[in-house]
Amino acid sequence: MCGIVGYIGRQEAAPIILQGLRQLEYRGYDSAGLAVLDRTGALQVRREAGKLVNLERAVTEAPVFGVVGVGHTRWATHGPPSQRNAHPHSSPDGDLVVVQNGIVENFWELRQELEGIGYCFQSDTDTEVIVHLIDHYYHNGDAGHLERAVQRAMQRLKGPSAIVALSSRHPDRLIAVRLGNAGGVAVGFGEGEMFVASDIPAILHHTRQMAFLDNRQMAIVTAQGAVFTDLEGRPVHKACVRIDWNPTAAEKGEFRHFMQKEIFEQGRSLTDTLRGRLDFQRHSVILDSLNLDAAQAQRLSRITIVACGTSYYAGLVGKYYIERLARIPVEVDYASEFRYRAPLVAPDQMVLAITQSGETVDTLAALEEARAHGAFTAAIVNAIGSQAARVTDGHIAMQAGPEIGVASTKAFTASITDLLLLALYLGEQRGALPESQRRHIIRTLSTLPGLAGELLEEALRSERYRELAERYHTYHNFLYLGRNIHYPIAREGALKLKEISYIHAEGYPAGEMKHGPIALIDANMPTVVIAPRDHVYDKMLSQIEQIKARSGPVLAVAHADDDAIRAKVDAVLPIPATDALLTPILAVMPLQIFAYEMAVRRGADVDQPRNLAKSVTVE
């Protein structure tokens, strides 16, 4: 969850590290710190509690100068957010520093062992165990061999960790290690300079050439390049990947928040998601990176989708798509629960992970469980080079570009679109979907970016959502209702409101309202309904009538020209009419904007909501 940046080269390291940390602050913002090797050969450490601006102020007041350094922004696991718990953590002599993303599950046993041989701990963190272990091995058997000391220390750790170590005794190198599924480690290649980061956007301003560490791999990074080994010291070949993301895509531009920017660029992100994947002559979908041929598709007896949070709700929409178009039974499971219940997985099944970051530890663990049972594994993933994309048999790239806001928006709509593409692909490969139906859906899909663009452009010009936020921002509870394919959209809408405005909200199947939630309905309980004109439209109108009969305010996501529903509700969040399969993708956008404006009106920190981080790399 934490963010790491390292630099070695010819430029001043501190500004590069601080810029990179700014790009990674979505991963954690409890505290931040950096260490730079100065011109005298000493490590200069600056650490501050709170957001990155506090560290930036400290570095301005007490500058650090040098061409090699590491930095960190923290999401607290062990120990409260404070200066003493901020990274980097130092060895007793100050000659070694370590930054970490992850968790040391056996840190208490290791801490007691180290205290027993004389080490004094200055923090409450598990990370301090790592720096002391490296220091211990360096001075006891591995003198002069930093790489070996790091390897021996990392072999002692249980649990996922990604670290970068810097020693004043070895000023020409950074050492990065990935252990388990603690999040990514990207090594960036420059001209006479090198970079290390937890995520691509941190170093994309400086290089597009990157390699990515896998489990139990280490990189010895100098200004001239990198050498890769495993934790036993055996050489490892790593391919260098070119990253084609535009660096400016990670900047807010004209928008007030990254989340706002990412909501309103969904027309573009959907275009990129569809680009190159629709064959209008053969009426087919092209998913080359999935690596699943017709024979394999025909053998599939079931698909299990594993995901967390927003991605889980995307999976629920995908269940409707795949079962309807490909006629394959689909189960959607929380990745955090999947491996703990002895799942029934077999070689004739697919386990499909949905993960924006590709580094969510629960999702990676679920994939490991699926591989152990011989299932075909696949991932819908946004982050190029991420662990999920590398360890699966095949993947579908969202192609949405960097998503910086912690609350996912464009990655959600890209995920749903990719699930529809997958359903079309499987339907064709299995002979379950007639060509005439594929033709209709593919042609309709090509209109999706334009429809999204129109919806979002109208919302950007309108005062509608700001006025609704002014009216409803003081309410403490919301109910979101949807039926059929829009039930997951109701859950996602409720999640967005909870995440960024801190208003309690629940998403429910509309038909279940009378089985409990209706007891909560009164004038102080607004309900948001997703009610496009589809085959359950009349049933949604009935739900609205029941709510209004109990004086409950109703906001409806509905077709813009639906005058009948407009007469029944307190406000309409309009969407354009299109094929029912595409409607969920459009229906969630007004809910994203509503949640955003509510959070802004309540003065919440939209891009960095409390207690949350973008990529959850600890259990």
Beta-strand pair 68-74/3-8: antiparallel
pLDDT band at residue 362 using 50, 70 and 90 as cut-offs: confident
The model's pTM? 0.76
What is the rounded average pLDDT for all residues in the chain? Answer: 91
What pLDDT does 619 receive?
Answer: 45
User: Residue 153: is its pLDDT beyond 90?
Assistant: yes
Q: Is the pLDDT of residue 385 over 90?
A: no
Does residue 614 have a pLDDT over 60?
Answer: no
- 158-186 pLDDT tens trace: 887 899 999 999 999 999 999 876 667 99
What's the token pair of residue 253?
Answer: 């531009």
pLDDT at residue 601 in the model: 96
Average pLDDT over residues 312-317: 97
CA 36 to chain centre: 29
Under 8 Å between Cβ of 101 and 198: yes
Q: What are the residue ranges of helices labelled H in 446-536?
A: 448-461, 464-472, 487-501
Pick 518 or 56 by higher pLDDT.
56
**pLDDT over threshold 90, residue 558:** yes
Confidence of residue 517 (pLDDT cuts 50, 70, 90): confident
Whether the pLDDT of residue 306 is over 50: the answer is yes
For the annotated catalytic residues, the residue numbers are 2, 614
**H or E segment to which residue 58 belongs:** helix 52-61
Neighbours of 117 (CB within 10 A): 9
* 458-487 tens-digit pLDDT: 998 899 999 999 999 999 999 999 999 999
> Is 617 a residue whose pLDDT tops 50?
no
User: b or e along 337-368 (b: 16 or more beta carbons within 10 Å of the residue's beta carbon)?
Assistant: ebbeeebebeeebbbbbbbbbbbbbbbbbbbe
User: Angle at Cα 382 formed by Cα 316 and Cα 600, nearest 5°?
Assistant: 75
Average pLDDT over residues 328-350: 90
Residue holding tokens 């109208």?
Answer: 458
Q: What is the token pair recorded at 193?
A: 């300079």
